[in-house]
Amino acid sequence: MLDLGEIRGKIDGIDKQLVSLFEERMALCHSVAEYKISTGKKVLDTERENAKLAAITKMVQNPENVHAINDLFSQIMANSRKMQYRLLEENGQTLREPYEAVDEVDKTNCKVVYQGVPGAYSYIAMKRYFGENVENFHVPTWRDAMEAVKMGKADYAVLPIENSTAGIVAGVYDLLQEYNNYIIAEAYIKVEHALLGLPGTDLDKVTTVYSHPQGLMQCEGFLEQHKDWNQISQANTAQSAQKVLLEKNPSHVAIASEEAAQVYGLEVLKHKINDLDNNTTRFVIVTNTRKFVKNAKKMSIVFETANEAGTLLAFTFSGQFLFKFFGISTNGFRIAAGFIILKIGYDMLQARFTNTKLKDEEIKTYANDISITPLSIPMLCGPGAIANGIMLMDDANTWTMKGILIGIIGLIYFITYLILRASTRLVSILGETGNNVMMRLMGLILMVIAVECFVSGFRPILIDIIQSSRI
């Protein structure tokens, strides 16, 4: 049996070969692009890609690796297409069909795919947007839904893209970047969880509750009243309702939508048990054809920017220049930074990732907003980190202090790297409850820092005001 060092050495050798072969493959794809430039051939050849994936699948000896190999080569071919499109556009050839303007989305003569099972919120969004009688089918994953649209098995896919309490759905953003599918519309669904059980279920005899982890978290206040219930996570809320039906155990209940109760013949034991009454999920309607609605008031653009090292240090060093350029006082910046950090800390104290709340009357306004909504900002270089970096650099009066600050930033990044490397293991150890406790603790610390920032900025201003009044 090989020891760990020998095993890792062999893996390093294989990785070296993989990198070399990948670069060789991309060089050949570059030649393919040059050929297409000269012949006017389209980049996307669906038949060729499908045949390639089928042939690769047959090469796999271990059946457990089939799905992973398919994902790997799908990503490789997606990167190849991106490179080819870039080269074609550099040569003045997009080879993509022009966008077609349509009066409205065809909601009748179409087939729609959604992720999950009947009764899920994606199912509800589909029904609300396309109507009760639309032809539809469901798939296990978001990728399957995107693939169904790409292959022409469905005209549209309904996918969640962000939630007002849980934040963005990063996996869907990644798929939008990977696939050449297009957002043509969107829908907003208010999340209203209910407690579902078999007809005649006695709440006093309930022992187990099923739901998606976010569903359990969003109903934390209600579940605090039933601490003796065993909370078991499921893939989605509707599947939880389905599980209760199949088990036929009157002591088991589910947290899901009231629509799920109708689908699976369950009884609504409690209505609207979620903590927040303005929790809303935004869904996008995705198609493979290049269409847009003529009267649309919003444009969705997916693009990537480089993840550059040293961004935080750049802001830290350039802070004083920015202050002088915009005429910003350090104390004023401290007060503003205090508010920013306070908001971040407060959200963490509530064990949520964002504070975007929508009332019913605001949903339409939000949907018609034409401003840019970014996928994300860098996790380690957000507004709070930038503000702190600029303020600490301003306080560092000597080059020694500045050097110490840079060293501390580097140390924090190294510690963060180690934590992120061990994140999967840490989450499994802490569990959902422990993770929420840590989030609240860090939120409290951030709020204390925010108060210190506010006070340190407000005190000199207040002193100046008092002194000026005495003159």
- Split at pLDDT 50, 70, 90, the class of 373 is very low
Q: How far is CA 165 from CA 97, 258, 298, 461, in A?
A: 38, 20, 22, 36
Q: For the residues 374-391, what does the mean pLDDT come to?
A: 61
Sole residue written with tokens 């022009």: 98
Query: Looking at 253-257, 269-273, 458-462, which range is the least confident one?
Result: 458-462
Sole residue written with tokens 């947007």: 129
Instruction: Let me know: does 348 contact 443? Beta carbons within 8 Å.
Output: yes
Q: Give dist(CA 189, CA 128) in Å, integer.
A: 9
pLDDT of residue 286: 93
pLDDT of residue 350: 65
Q: Which helix (H) or strand (E) holds 254?
A: strand 252-256
Query: Looking at 58-67, 140-149, 313-322, 435-444, which range is the least confident one?
Result: 313-322
pLDDT of residue 231: 93
The answer to whether the 100-191+280-293 and 194-270 domains have the same CATH topology is yes
Tell me the two tokens of residue 337.
């930074």
- Give the residue, 273 or 169, on which the prediction is more confident: 273
Tell me the two tokens of residue 71.
């994902």
Model confidence at 205: pLDDT above 90: yes
Q: For the residues 443-447, what does the mean pLDDT come to?
A: 82
Amino acid making up residue 408: I
Tell me the chain's radius of gyration from C-alpha atoms.
27
* Phi–psi pair at 130, nearest 5 degrees: -95, -15
Instruction: Let me know: does 253 contact 206? Beta carbons within 8 Å.
Output: yes
Return the CATH number of the domain spanning residue range 14-90.
1.20.59
Q: Give dist(CA 265, CA 424) in Å, integer.
A: 38
Q: For the residues 47-59, what does the mean pLDDT come to?
A: 85
Q: Give dist(CA 232, CA 249) in Å, integer.
A: 15
Q: Give dist(CA 245, CA 242) in Å, integer.
A: 5
Tell me the two tokens of residue 8.
């890792």
The fold adopted by the segment(s) 100-191+280-293 is D-Maltodextrin-Binding Protein; domain 2 (3.40.190)
Q: How far is CA 171 from CA 105, 119, 205, 384, in A?
A: 25, 21, 39, 25
Instruction: Let me know: does 391 contact 405? Beta carbons within 8 Å.
Output: no
Q: What is the pLDDT of residues 139-150, one digit of tens each?
A: 988 999 999 998
Tell me the two tokens of residue 361.
């009357």
Given the residues 281, 287, 316, 454, select the one marked as catalytic.
Answer: 281
Tell me the two tokens of residue 322.
């920015």
Helix axes 399-421, 311-326, angle to 10 degrees: 130
pLDDT of residue 157: 95
Q: Which helix (H) or strand (E) holds 293?
A: strand 291-293
User: What is the separation of C-alpha 63 from the centre of its chain, rounded to a whole number of angstroms?
Assistant: 30
pLDDT of residue 111: 93
Query: Looking at 118-127, 197-206, 337-346, which range is the least confident one?
Result: 337-346
Given the residues 130, 222, 283, 333, select the one marked as catalytic.
Answer: 283
- Split at pLDDT 50, 70, 90, the class of 355 is very low
Closest CA relative to residue 191, chosen from 171, 217, 173, 170: 217
- Split at pLDDT 50, 70, 90, the class of 312 is low
- Split at pLDDT 50, 70, 90, the class of 470 is low
Other C-beta atoms lying within 10 Å of the C-beta of residue 27: 9
Query: Looking at 240-249, 290-299, 369-378, which range is the least confident one?
Result: 369-378
Return the CATH number of the domain spanning residue range 194-270.
3.40.190.10
Q: For the residues 181-195, what does the mean pLDDT come to?
A: 90
pLDDT of residue 137: 94
pLDDT of residue 127: 93
pLDDT of residue 262: 92
Tell me the two tokens of residue 393.
């650099």
> Helix, strand, coil proportions of the chain in percent (round to 5)?
55, 15, 30
Sole residue written with tokens 């992720």: 115
Distance from the first to the final alpha carbon of the chain = 85
Q: For the residues 5-26, what does the mean pLDDT come to?
A: 89
Closest CA relative to residue 182, chosen from 128, 102, 73, 238: 102
Return the beta strands (E) in 89-181 as ranges: 100-102, 111-115, 135-139, 156-163, 167-168
Q: For the residues 144-168, what does the mean pLDDT come to?
A: 87
Helices (H), 398-471: 399-421, 423-470
Residue 96 DSSP class: P
- Split at pLDDT 50, 70, 90, the class of 424 is low
Q: What is the pLDDT of residues 83-138, one digit of tens each?
A: 877 777 777 655 455 677 788 888 888 999 999 889 999 999 999 999 989 999 99
Sequence ranges of the domains in the chain = 14-90, 100-191+280-293, 194-270, 311-470
Instruction: Let me know: does 247 contact 269? Beta carbons within 8 Å.
Output: no
In the chain, % of residues over pLDDT 70: 81
Task: Return mean pLDDT, the chain.
Answer: 80
pTM summary value? 0.55
| 274-279-282 Cα angle (round to 5) | 140
Where b means 16+ CB within 10 Å and e means fewer, 258-284 reads bbbbebbebebbeeebbbeebbbbbbb
Residue 300 DSSP class: -
Q: Is 141 a catalytic residue?
A: no
Q: Which of 228-242, 368-382, 393-407 has the highest mean pLDDT?
A: 228-242
pLDDT of residue 421: 77
- For β-strands 230-233 and 194-197, DSSP reports them as unpaired
Q: What is the pLDDT of residues 267-300, one digit of tens each?
A: 999 999 988 877 888 999 999 888 778 787 777 7
Q: Is 207 a catalytic residue?
A: no
Query: Looking at 330-334, 339-343, 347-351, 357-361, which range is the least confident one?
Result: 357-361
Closest CA relative to residue 179, chosen from 150, 158, 159: 150
